[in-house]
Structure 1
């Protein structure tokens, strides 16, 4: 036997102990001390998985765990790449017992005829996608809507049971039972069988993902065996009424159409696995969410005061403290992830909860921010062709539970307690969650209608739009910036710092009504963390936003804003920058010019207006930029000669412009001979109109990562069609202005209709805006989704 083999056997390390190993650890073994000590069954992992593997995420993102016999993956990009390739990284071991059981327990399982087959969770291609496609329709947002009244009724009835007690264990008294009842109703399980199935579901979790002691394994095996047999009996009962409601009956009907795809053994396995998947993850996720919210009383109070924040709060809770800590994969061919060679047969524990705290993807990742605009990028539901099909049912339930608690028990607080978790690698939630409140302060004692509001908070079935995330602000002061222009300084109501922003950013201001929302560029100092500033031109013939602000807003008023967001970024590596502003278009460019000056970039600011009196911030700009500011006042006979200014293309020079549409169109013409991506334009007006089905063509999109094909009808946008197929895509303006709904294109010709992408980006054809752009001539597109 070679020295290498002896060393591998001695240490349990699968990596050869060569000369380079000594550079990795003092002992010469590639396995670091932290990696050797890694144990997901320890309390540290159960209490806080992202914190437990922080050292790995920061210094050793992929490591070998001798105790577990798995490679452990901790960073966002690496984990998403693994999810994206379900051929190289097979899900076959996702339901494999992570702790092998003894002969006696195995014999018990065999005595029950236990034969759990592959399911949607752990099935390889080519079998997986045909079954997923066949069984997916009941999970789409449109189909889930009719479950909402039932979930609301259950939530209300269970809160009724303890609302006057002043103390409750939310897990035992609601969050365990209600999601299980919803899951069984969704599956179509008869009412009389629900109590029996409740007893068995936790045993399956412990059997698969836990570490039962040898003396516990036989008892667990009996419970799992009984679960298997009873699930089969319930399925037989369903066969007697296959036209009934529920996902399993839907599967039975699909079996008639596709008997080779939807088989008896498959339905039996899904009956058992579906109960656990639909129940425990939602129960644990809601318990985690309530624990997290009550640990942040200021956030909980804000949520109670503004229930519109609930959909995004759910996403942030799923990101920050989700119920799925990790998944498993097995490598089917020699490959590499994150620079680490992984031989065929390697088992992977992919710690999604760690990915959700990766600073490279989530700014200030450990901060709990219910307004985080990319919270729904979390990997708690997985990604790609094996993403959780029940994600939107879970979202619906969590939103309804949080709304019920926020409306009826806003004064609820955490009781003193020590949290415990069932030890396992993948699913986590507190076994108990004790809360307290003063029943005398229950709001519904004074307002009985709160128990059953006539207009409940709307549930967003599907991923929340960024446009739904609002923030309260106070108008600290309002000043005249020029004729017809007011400048608003906005601060937080509680005096806390405002969100950070970069030059080119804008906010949306709700102008008297949530449906009347307008975008305004930030024009203050990005280093001023206490306020956001905008300048608003009064446009009597506009769309109503500026008129409302000029007529109604005064110092001390409370407004609601969304953002900041930036789709108009300054290239800070540019050698020279030409800023061209027309009228109120000076607002984003004023912050950019300030930044260029701070960075020492060579720049010039060309500012045009009807008169000096109508030009916002002119004195401030002159003082800051001196000779670099060139003013063109129409009443003085001065006009910016764009043709002369841009006559000679200058390599390394970038042009940033904002102003009237006529000026921007002229700029595009004058910059045609300049290098690609020279001109950057900020638009606040879209030419997008309602689709005319008579002029549009339907087209298909192949979703490479998800393994499905979606048809986009002539009267529907790509964004709408994707959401209807249960595919998460962010959005905001839905007018082709903001860039939030950008998707990557792998194949096909694009009919670009947005005002976000540059000429070169359009020619490259690698990206498109799902809210407005389409396929050319009805061609098929291939998307990285």
Structure 2
């Protein structure tokens, strides 16, 4: 049944009569004004005090409870029953009776839409209308977006100065929105005016003398939307979301109703247009203020998809959404009464240092940029998110290619249309020297295109260029590589057990870092595998000092537990690389440990001098010398507080698993570098369903599909990288159902707990899995 929303809470939800000290609302909470200049200019910074001191507070000025931390905001989005979206489009500022009468004169009857509709009505409609938003269908729009972008840039590329908002970023998303919806282009000017009025009417604070004029424009917008919709009904065979909806209405008249289509026609134009226009303006402002990053993506367009993602996190266009509590509840440590209205500030959540490391920094290689909540989360997550991503990528590609020398006009003042939820600068003035336009001397730049990423960028897109500084042979068939950032920048810090990913021709391979974590360079060692599929052979045969490489990371799925009483480190062959870094770390901190290094012969064992530096804590086990390691004896007696970390060939790791069977779960930690995954065989695999609890969807996984493939096909974004079950990037939480684990990341104890899985390779044992997505 539909969520029941209690009557609105009083202006202040605190019973002052029961208090001796007056109203407990803090000074900061009392002073909070979402229409003030601080919030409008930088909502995240204006709420830093809240994230640090009062993450959920009541604003008497607004009459809302304000939620600012990442986990709290995500929890509210996740539960659309307890936290109803019914007020998402409610006027945040009460309007005059005259303005209300004006809307009535136009028969304004905006119904619930995908944005503010409760269950059980919402999800059947969302499912019915989702297909045009899937990556497969969105791909058809790329050529149109590119054509429009090129046409608008052509108009000002030789002028030397432009307002990107007025001359491109407002008009192109509007035209794309009209195309996507199926609306004729000739109505663009009218729709622009109406779109602004609708935004001000719903989320803004129009002055009393402006309210009637705003209502007049909204009423005309409503009538116009109905007129265009009727035109489409005459021939709904064309492309566009609205014709698609009309066709669906014939199949499902009780789900896709007349009033629903009329409301979505109006709301869809605003949603598809204004948020993308504002997000794009924010992105260009942010990138041009961070000149080094702008120049980096000009030189390497492959960084654009992740630059878009970090722009959406750092300076997204959707600052906040609204919800209403349908029952007494708690958010964090704060009691929330039934009927309480919530301002859920995703812009603040996107700068929460509890989830994002150094959140105020603009880092286009941030590994978890895609965790941002700009598009919301759960069953009401923005359906058009990937269309917006596509547009922003193409805008950036066009201007970094054609105007890489563009810069912000100095000393301009950035202003914002006042409202609580959507933000973007009214103008972004830029300037450049037309004589330096690259196309003047190299017309071929006009034909270069970077492939568009439809959906959340994979982790493998977050790369940097490094160069080989040193290349030394340190054992038989083992090369030591020292890598530095190609631009002289500082490489990210790392912890023992971390690895990097290198692109080697058409292959991507993972290698453990084994140098000093505080060194300005990275060190890895690579053994030439006689059965190499190309990775180690590429390094040994094609690399030389000065060679450039694409690198991602570092990432650590093999991290040390700092709370152990004693560590047993075991390495076989080239597995010494992560293990030696761990042993060095333990020695530097004075921890109790022992190191066992196994190899066939000494000449093939790398880093023997470093191992020797561990003195009597290190033991060599050399097969040719008759000192092969006795795993059964080493692990004969389980010891409380002891943790075992091992890396090496499969036979060694299997032996350790067998020898540690009587040890406590979680005592053995292993690192793999090869995958045993084979192509999916439809004669062996079976289909199953995924119940996505947070999204309210059920997705079918066919025998020839991975879980990751099925999620992407249904517009559900999950990060990924190796897609071989090695790196852990695509991990998701499991709520119900037994998982057929096929990765090499999870420990035995983690597999037995059945609380997570790798979507690139693991599957369901039965016919259903429930995931927290």
Instruction: Provide TM-score, normalisation by structure 1.
Output: 0.96
Match among 186, 189, 206 for residue 212 of structure 1: 206
Alpha-carbon distance in 2 for matches of 1:173, 1:79 = 35
Match among 531, 538, 542 for residue 548 of structure 1: 538
Task: Show the counterpart of 2:768.
Answer: 780
Structure 1 segment 25-104 matched on structure 2, within 5 A: 29-104=23-98
Task: Show the counterpart of 1:621.
Answer: 611
Structure 1 segment 434-473 matched on structure 2, within 5 A: 434-453=429-448, 456-473=449-466
SS of 1:251's equivalent in the other structure is: helix
Match among 308, 316, 325 for residue 302 of structure 2: 308
The answer for unaligned runs of 5 or more in structure 2 is 1-8
Alpha-carbon distance in 2 for matches of 1:135, 1:239 = 17
Match among 140, 149, 155 for residue 146 of structure 1: 140
Deviation at 1:337, TM superposition (A): 0.5
Alpha-carbon distance in 1 for matches of 2:316, 2:286 = 10
Q: Please state if 1:716 is matched with 2:705.
A: yes
Contact persistence 1:193–1:234 (CA under 8 A): no
Contact persistence 2:508–2:722 (CA under 8 A): no
Task: Show the counterpart of 1:729.
Answer: 718
The answer for unaligned runs of 5 or more in structure 1 is 1-7
Alpha-carbon distance in 2 for matches of 1:289, 1:185 = 23
Match among 556, 578, 585 for residue 575 of structure 2: 585
Deviations 1:355-378 (A, max 9, x none): 000111111111101011110100
Deviation at 1:516, TM superposition (A): 1.8
Alpha-carbon distance in 2 for matches of 1:753, 1:488 = 31
Task: Show the counterpart of 2:14.
Answer: 15
Alpha-carbon distance in 2 for matches of 1:616, 1:118 = 67
Number of aligned positions between the proteins: 764
Match among 475, 485, 488 for residue 481 of structure 2: 488
Structure 1 segment 57-456 matched on structure 2, within 5 A: 57-416=51-410, 417-453=412-448, 456=449
Deviation at 1:519, TM superposition (A): 0.9
Q: Please state if 1:632 is matched with 2:621.
A: yes
Q: Please state if 1:562 is matched with 2:552.
A: yes
Root-mean-square deviation (CA, aligned residues, Å) is: 1.4
Deviations 1:715-769 (A, max 9, x none): 1111100111111111111111111111111111111111111112111111111
Alpha-carbon distance in 1 for matches of 2:661, 2:14 = 56
Task: Show the counterpart of 1:3.
Answer: none
Match among 585, 590, 593 for residue 595 of structure 1: 585
Q: Please state if 1:516 is matched with 2:507.
A: yes
Deviations 1:657-677 (A, max 9, x none): 100111111111111111111
Alpha-carbon distance in 1 for matches of 2:211, 2:267 = 20
SS of 2:720's equivalent in the other structure is: coil
Task: Show the counterpart of 2:5.
Answer: none
Q: Which moved more, 1:597-606 or 1:297-306?
A: 597-606
Moved over 6 A (4+): none
Contact persistence 2:739–2:754 (CA under 8 A): yes
Alpha-carbon distance in 1 for matches of 2:731, 2:538 = 32
Deviations 1:607-642 (A, max 9, x none): 01122232111112222x211111112232211111
SS of 1:588's equivalent in the other structure is: helix
Contact persistence 1:522–1:533 (CA under 8 A): yes
SS of 2:729's equivalent in the other structure is: coil
Alpha-carbon distance in 2 for matches of 1:278, 1:191 = 15
Deviation at 1:544, TM superposition (A): 1.6
Alpha-carbon distance in 2 for matches of 1:74, 1:591 = 39
Deviation at 1:289, TM superposition (A): 0.5
Deviation at 1:553, TM superposition (A): 2.4
Match among 631, 644, 666 for residue 633 of structure 2: 644
Alpha-carbon distance in 2 for matches of 1:312, 1:449 = 25
Alpha-carbon distance in 2 for matches of 1:236, 1:13 = 46
Alpha-carbon distance in 1 for matches of 2:544, 2:715 = 44
Alpha-carbon distance in 2 for matches of 1:37, 1:738 = 47
Deviation at 1:346, TM superposition (A): 0.5
SS of 2:420's equivalent in the other structure is: coil
Deviations 1:409-431 (A, max 9, x none): 11111112100000000000000
Alpha-carbon distance in 2 for matches of 1:361, 1:599 = 28
Task: Show the counterpart of 2:6.
Answer: none
Task: Show the counterpart of 1:5.
Answer: none
Alpha-carbon distance in 1 for matches of 2:77, 2:328 = 17
Alpha-carbon distance in 1 for matches of 2:413, 2:532 = 58
Deviation at 1:287, TM superposition (A): 0.6
Deviation at 1:596, TM superposition (A): 1.8
Deviation at 1:28, TM superposition (A): 5.2
Alpha-carbon distance in 2 for matches of 1:252, 1:236 = 10
Alpha-carbon distance in 2 for matches of 1:28, 1:199 = 47
Alpha-carbon distance in 2 for matches of 1:418, 1:350 = 28
Alpha-carbon distance in 2 for matches of 1:267, 1:628 = 73
SS of 2:525's equivalent in the other structure is: strand
Alpha-carbon distance in 1 for matches of 2:533, 2:76 = 47
SS of 1:363's equivalent in the other structure is: coil
Deviations 1:94-116 (A, max 9, x none): 00000010011111111111111
Alpha-carbon distance in 2 for matches of 1:725, 1:489 = 42
Deviations 1:326-347 (A, max 9, x none): 0000000000001100000100
Match among 745, 749, 756 for residue 760 of structure 1: 749
SS of 1:36's equivalent in the other structure is: helix
Deviation at 1:578, TM superposition (A): 0.5
SS of 2:44's equivalent in the other structure is: helix
Alpha-carbon distance in 1 for matches of 2:130, 2:534 = 43
Q: Please state if 1:658 is matched with 2:647.
A: yes
Contact persistence 1:13–1:31 (CA under 8 A): no
SS of 1:115's equivalent in the other structure is: coil
Alpha-carbon distance in 2 for matches of 1:548, 1:493 = 20
Q: For residues 16 and 503 of structure 1, do their structure 2 counterparts lie closer, same or farther at Cα, with a shift above 3 Å needed?
A: farther
Alpha-carbon distance in 2 for matches of 1:251, 1:229 = 19
Alpha-carbon distance in 2 for matches of 1:259, 1:156 = 41
Alpha-carbon distance in 2 for matches of 1:373, 1:611 = 40
Deviation at 1:597, TM superposition (A): 2.1
Deviation at 1:306, TM superposition (A): 0.6
